[in-house]
Amino acid sequence: MTLSADFLVLGSGIAGLSFALRAARYGQVVVVTKRAADEAATAYAQGGVAAVFSAEDSFEKHAADTIAAGAGLCHDIVVELCVREAPAAVRWLAEIGASFSRAGDGELDLGREAAHSERRIVHAGDITGREIERALVAAVKASPNIRLLEWHLGVDLITLSKFGGPDQCVGAYVLDERRGVVETVVARATVLATGGAGKVYLYTSNPDVATGDGIAMAYRAGAEVANMEFFQFHPTVLYEPKAKSFLISEALRGEGATLRLPTGESFMKKHHPLGDLAPRDVMARAIDFEMKRTGSESVLLDITHQSREFLQRRFPGIYAECARFGIDIATQPIPVVPAAHYLCGGVSTDLHGRSTLPGLWVLGETACTGLHGANRLASNSLLEGLVFARRAAEKLGSLIAELREGPVPSVPEWQIGSAVPSDEAVVVSHNWDELRRLMWNYVGIVRSDARLRRAARRVAMLQEEIQEYYWKHLVTRDLLELRNIATVAELVIGSAASRRESRGLHYTIDHQETLSDFARDTVVKRGVPAHLRGH
């Protein structure tokens, strides 16, 4: 079965759905999402959208905070355009139906998070992502120009070079999981917005869908990927086995929460002058250090100085979730640990979301735009998705007449060849567990040359086994996700090994200094090892 559209979007988070809504003015859009439309990382975002609305704030301050967090690798032009376009992006969300928290005077109730110099976090309590996702999904389902394919996931991008043509992306092969059939979707422009890759690690705040699918597909198709070593570990995830890595927002620390050892001693001032408002990378390493030093299974986040009324109003989601596990955050500190949270690297794009592969556009966490550099400033991720979705849609809108001049490419449908149904799914589950565990142990918060070498050797062996199994058996969601996280693991390890310094989210005990010679992006392309390149 072959489908065609002007725009094919893979992913249903803030970036993919924002693009779809804006692009629907210019043509037909097909949105592919591998679960229900609202099951995206966006729905789990507690913090909010960073944007300048306060008279005490300024674009210059927002830019300065972003650049300071990015540890020398932010692209200044990208930072400038994102902070300046942020207020309009928030207003657009409100126009399509998103409801944000308001102060008594009706103005936006702006929160503050770590490493922000001013209050600029537009939020909906602590369920901001859920509210944004709700509004976007409702608007998409109401649009006659958007076709939504739930329970579908990308298998591989379709490039004409595979069939003797030019190096151009013209769509994707997509698995209809419910029917077990791979469909062919061709498009004038293909947009990857599949989110991040937190599931490459054993412990993550990410939902199960975050398996790096878009990055892996783009890399296999020949697109350039950058800065994969910069994986952000959120410092505070609820330490409760039954909670499945429930995130405790940085906004608690913005409201005065203090990190403590199990003895009650606060410790962040020993690690950074900003104390409990230190950047995430510093915070995660500090917690990791203190847990290893003391042998503790977790540390404590204490916000008991705030009233119960305030906590229920400002953090309703966190208050209720902690209560579900017997923790009264008004009287008890919250046990927390770090977990993989956000990938600052991804598929390289220009100022409009274009990748280096013609016909392929990339948005959101799947992309590396240059905004985050070596470390993301809190609440800049939703902002990036909004800004670049608009820029990509408007650019493609200006090109659509030109793109329609030629016929829709004719490409072969998916061929199963001699592949047979999976006969030993244990191979998939075993490799899945081993891969994620070795990434946590060897390529996590603190790295070393020896750990990276061990990880590279073992992942190479796993890749051989995974690839052999992949080509012999019919594709399933589990097999596709395993294949993708293995590719992401290779990219993270290779990029980390090439950066022989410590910078931002990449910290190695063998190269603890930050060196000016390494103030460049790490770039990798299929067939070309990871290397540093100026930006």
Calculate the alpha carbon distances from 35 to 290, 342, 354, 480 in Å.
38, 20, 26, 14
Among candidate residues 170, 173, 218, 176, the one with its CA nearest the CA of residue 194: 218
136 lies in the same domain as 210: yes
Query: CA 266 to CA 263: how far, in whole Å?
Result: 9
Contacts of 378 (CB under 8 A, 6+ apart): 47, 50, 113, 114, 115, 116, 121, 250, 280
What is the reported pLDDT for 114?
83
What is the reported pLDDT for 83?
98
225, β-bridge pairs: 347, 524
Is residue 104 one of the residues assigned to a domain? Answer: no
Query: CA 190 to CA 366: how far, in whole Å?
Result: 13
Is residue 274 one of the residues assigned to a domain? Answer: yes
201 lies in the same domain as 349: yes
Is residue 76 one of the residues assigned to a domain? Answer: no
DSSP per position, 111-147: B--TT-SS--EE-STT-HHHHHHHHHHHHHHH-TTEE
384 lies in the same domain as 497: no
Please, what is the Cα angle at 390 between 20 and 14, to 5 degrees? 55
Last residue of a domain, which of 339, 359, 380? 339
What is the reported pLDDT for 295?
92
Calculate the alpha carbon distances from 136 to 43, 45, 96, 342, 386 in Å.
11, 14, 7, 22, 11
397 lies in the same domain as 469: no
307 lies in the same domain as 443: no
List the CATH number of the domain containing 175.
3.50.50.60
Query: CA 51 to CA 33: how far, in whole Å?
Result: 28
Number of residues that make up the chain: 535
List the CATH number of the domain containing 334.
3.90.700.10
Give how many domains the chain has, as a whole number. Answer: 3
Last residue of a domain, which of 339, 360, 381? 339
Contact 385, 20 (CB under 8 A): no
pLDDT < 50 positions in the chain: none
Is residue 184 one of the residues assigned to a domain? Answer: yes
Q: How many helices (H) and strands (E) does the chain have?
A: 13, 18
Residue pointed to by tokens 């990791």? 288
Query: In this predicted model, what pLDDT tens digit does every residue of 351-377 receive, in sequence order?
Result: 999 999 999 999 999 999 999 999 999
188, 260, 280, 483: the active-site residue: 280
Among candidate residues 398, 368, 338, 10, the one with its CA nearest the CA of residue 169: 10
349 lies in the same domain as 213: yes
449 lies in the same domain as 499: yes
Is residue 67 one of the residues assigned to a domain? Answer: no
Read off the DSSP letter of residue 265.
-
Catalytic residue status for 35: no
Is residue 77 one of the residues assigned to a domain? Answer: no
Helix (H) or strand (E) holding 411: none
Residue 137's φ and ψ, nearest 5 degrees, are -60, -40
Range of the domain at 284: 239-339
197 lies in the same domain as 252: no
Read off the DSSP letter of residue 528.
E
Query: In this predicted model, what pLDDT tens digit does every residue of 110-136 receive, in sequence order?
Result: 999 888 999 999 999 999 999 999 999
328 lies in the same domain as 207: no
Is residue 223 one of the residues assigned to a domain? Answer: yes
What is the reported pLDDT for 250?
85
247 lies in the same domain as 266: yes
Query: CA 183 to CA 2: how far, in whole Å?
Result: 6
Query: In this predicted model, what pLDDT tens digit does every residue of 480-535 receive, in sequence order?
Result: 999 999 999 999 999 999 999 999 999 999 999 999 999 999 999 999 999 999 87
List the CATH number of the domain containing 470.
1.20.58.100
Contact 359, 168 (CB under 8 A): yes
What is the reported pLDDT for 245?
78
191 lies in the same domain as 299: no
Is residue 95 one of the residues assigned to a domain? Answer: no
441 lies in the same domain as 366: no
SS3 151: coil
